Structure 1
Amino acid sequence: MRKLLSLGIIATLFLFASCSSGDDLIGNWVKKTDFPGVPRSNAVTFTIGNFAYVGCGYDGEDRLSSFKKFDLTTETWTNVATPGDLFKVRQNAVAFSANGKGYVGTGFDGDYTRYADFWEFDPATNAWTNIGDFPGGVREGSVAFSTATYGVVGAGYGDLDEADKKYLNDYYKFDGTSWTTLGTHGNKVREASSFVIGDYAYICTGTLNTGGLLNKIYKFDIAASTWVSQEVENQIEILDEDYDNEDVMRSNAVAFVINNRAYIATGAYGTSLKRDVWEYNPANDNWDEKEELEFEVAARQNAVAFSNTDGTKAYIATGSSGTYYLDDTWEFQPNVDEDDIDNY
């Protein structure tokens, strides 16, 4: 049976989950209207114009195909068309938007089947169309990012043999018409996070095929459609205890952007769920810790996150906390002192 997490249970279960007290850190979490669909984890999200779309996932019993959309102006949820009977229910899928349309594909049925199919959502008609299979083959736990004119999908794992899951590091670009291979890049990783700031996309966090956590950030030049070399001067900072930023490493996290700075939040480190929030400033390639999730906000993994059109606000929603599946929505304010009144 699905379980919802009450505030009292949150405070009890996650009292010791924090890496730091956060008492002298800046940042504030503000409760918004709950996601109106079934509480879920491992969902997908994409943003078109002033709306963020959230769907698919797992509710503790079933895999899902339903979607809702969040109005980033009014901060309210409404219904959106379900992809239809030909769209298979799934979790651990991937999504992006480009050229005013949304795309959802790949994923896992929770049993033995992983998918390669991809679907296009047109907000003008509120309709879904199958666009064929992903050229990289079946997989789940991939990562994707959106640009104005194309999306990129890659990594994850796709071997159907449960005893020998195949981790991947191949990437593909979709421009609304066709897929183009971008070759392989970096470590083989699953359940990574991504964000876009200005002319660059970044991929970070996630679980490696060796069992450890990714401790690098991969940088992608959007205009050139190429990866930025890690060997150049002023290379992307590595996550390591020597830099006092090793706590950024995790899997199943969310990433979002506010005012040209990226934030990594939620996720898991081994069996521990993460409450800390880290801010990345690409101007100086530096990480700073922000205020952690309030105890009113369940520590979680497999949530979704999205930002508004001008990148001045960002939100997290859904996710799982142990056997509890969540439907809450929270706005993060990185430069505001904690104010508990906002959370009720």
Structure 2
Amino acid sequence: MRKVLSLGIIATLFLFASCSSGDDLIGNWVKKDDFSGAGRNNAVTFTIGNYAYVGCGYDGEDRLNSFKKFDLTNETWTSVESPGENFELRQNAVAFSANGKGYVGTGFNGDYTRYADFWEFDPATETWTEIAAFPGGVREGAVAFSTPTYGVVGAGYGDLDEADKKYLNDYYKYDGSSWINMGTHGSKVENASSFVIGNYAYICTGTLNTGAMLKKIYKFNIEAGDWVSQAEEDNIEALDEDNDNEDVLRTNAVIFVINNKAYVATGSYGSSSLKNDVWEYDPATDKWDEKEELETEVTARTSAVAFSNADQTKGYITTGSAGTYYLDDTWEFQPTIDEDDIDNY
């Protein structure tokens, strides 16, 4: 991890980090093995079996294509084969896993070029194979979620000429052999986040084409392979002051799942307000509950990645950035345990 922070960055972190409402918040963060690659933001992650894979992103100087894997039992990072030279260096791409394979595509090279290519990773051979390009066209800041047999990718920010059409809301499903057009859904949004609990996937947070934060939560029925009815979606509690959960609003956040509850953390609100607060969403009650904030050396950050283990009993966060500080620390969140500073460093 880069250890040098300018006074300006430190001031920014203290000024904009979300404030805990007090010592009564539940939750504990435990430091794990540091990510073994370069500290970075806007990376991608996917999970296959006992391993979480993290790669691509931006380290403050270069766009990357390197990948590492995290052993979810031993909680250590090791190297994994990276895509070949035909895979363009990129950040703000998207990833998912299905049928025992990982998939990475789209993204941005930092020089006005966005991508639509997609690549399949086989963990048995650690080989990358280019598959059919994403049919929705080039984009960055898309969102994706995984099911056992297919992945869904959509939304994001594209290259269309008209400014009001750069933000997207089209979605496509990949079943291991071909892409299927699912049409459009919801508002045009970039840098949203997703999670899967039971038979449903959810999309929330992110930035709308109006510049506002996404308040709705979109719900997808995995078994049916389509979005739930508009009536059912409208019944999900929105993120706004009327529901006392307005602080959940953000972009470039992470979400992980532990024991059938989702946890939203980090990200930013506006152009410079970094977040370190954590919110728990219970789909059984459709309620949000604030938990203990991220307790790290650099508390507030944006554009990190997060993942859960196979049975979703543990959740982790790693990488991200704060100002010009690019991070490689990894943390596990324990949502039902009181804060214990001893295990943090």
Q: TM-score, normalised by structure 2?
A: 0.95
C-alpha distance in 1, partners of 2:27/2:35?
A: 23
Q: How does 1:1-344 map to 2 (within 5 A)?
A: 3-4=2-3, 13-16=12-15, 17-159=17-159, 166-232=166-232, 235-270=235-270, 271-344=272-345
5+ residue gaps in structure 1? none
Residue pair 1:38, 1:59 contacting (<8 A) in 2 also? yes
Task: Note the aligned Cα RMSD (angstroms).
Answer: 2.0
C-alpha distance in 2, partners of 1:23/1:11?
A: 23
C-alpha distance in 1, partners of 2:126/2:144?
A: 22
In 2 relative to 1, CA 20–42 (structure 1 residues): closer, same or farther, beyond 3 Å?
same
C-alpha distance in 2, partners of 1:29/1:11?
A: 21
Q: Offset of 1:19 from its aligned partner?
A: 3.4
C-alpha distance in 1, partners of 2:23/2:294?
A: 12
- Greater Cα offset, 88-97 or 296-305: 296-305
Q: Offset of 1:32 from its aligned partner?
A: 0.5
Q: TM-score, normalised by structure 1?
A: 0.95
- Greater Cα offset, 84-93 or 297-306: 297-306
Q: Offset of 1:160 from its aligned partner?
A: 5.9
Q: Offset of 1:46 from its aligned partner?
A: 0.1
Name the SS of the counterpart of 1:52 in structure 2: strand
In 2 relative to 1, CA 162–298 (structure 1 residues): closer, same or farther, beyond 3 Å?
farther
Residue pair 2:132, 2:178 contacting (<8 A) in 1 also? no
- Greater Cα offset, 227-236 or 65-74: 227-236
- Greater Cα offset, 153-162 or 130-139: 153-162
The amino acid of 1:288's aligned partner reads D
Residue pair 2:107, 2:114 contacting (<8 A) in 1 also? yes
Residue pair 2:194, 2:255 contacting (<8 A) in 1 also? yes
Q: Offset of 1:215 from its aligned partner?
A: 0.3
In 2 relative to 1, CA 29–86 (structure 1 residues): closer, same or farther, beyond 3 Å?
same
The amino acid of 2:85's aligned partner reads D
Q: Deviations over 1:75-125 (max 9, x none)?
A: 000010010000000000000000000000000000011000000000011
C-alpha distance in 2, partners of 1:324/1:162?
A: 34
In 2 relative to 1, CA 212–47 (structure 1 residues): closer, same or farther, beyond 3 Å?
same
Q: Equivalent pairs: percent with the same residue?
A: 77
- Greater Cα offset, 11-20 or 92-101: 11-20
5+ residue gaps in structure 2? none
Name the SS of the counterpart of 1:73 in structure 2: coil
C-alpha distance in 2, partners of 1:216/1:163?
A: 23
In 2 relative to 1, CA 247–73 (structure 1 residues): closer, same or farther, beyond 3 Å?
same
The amino acid of 1:185's aligned partner reads H
- Greater Cα offset, 18-27 or 255-264: 18-27
Q: Deviations over 1:139-172 (max 9, x none)?
A: 0000000000000000001116596670000000
The amino acid of 1:72's aligned partner reads L
In 2 relative to 1, CA 37–147 (structure 1 residues): closer, same or farther, beyond 3 Å?
same
Name the SS of the counterpart of 2:19 in structure 1: coil
Q: Offset of 1:231 from its aligned partner?
A: 1.9
In 2 relative to 1, CA 165–318 (structure 1 residues): closer, same or farther, beyond 3 Å?
farther
In 2 relative to 1, CA 276–162 (structure 1 residues): closer, same or farther, beyond 3 Å?
farther
Residue pair 1:5, 1:325 contacting (<8 A) in 2 also? no
In 2 relative to 1, CA 163–215 (structure 1 residues): closer, same or farther, beyond 3 Å?
closer
Query: How many pairs does the alignment contain?
Result: 343
In 2 relative to 1, CA 71–106 (structure 1 residues): closer, same or farther, beyond 3 Å?
same
C-alpha distance in 2, partners of 1:10/1:167?
A: 30
C-alpha distance in 2, partners of 1:307/1:338?
A: 20
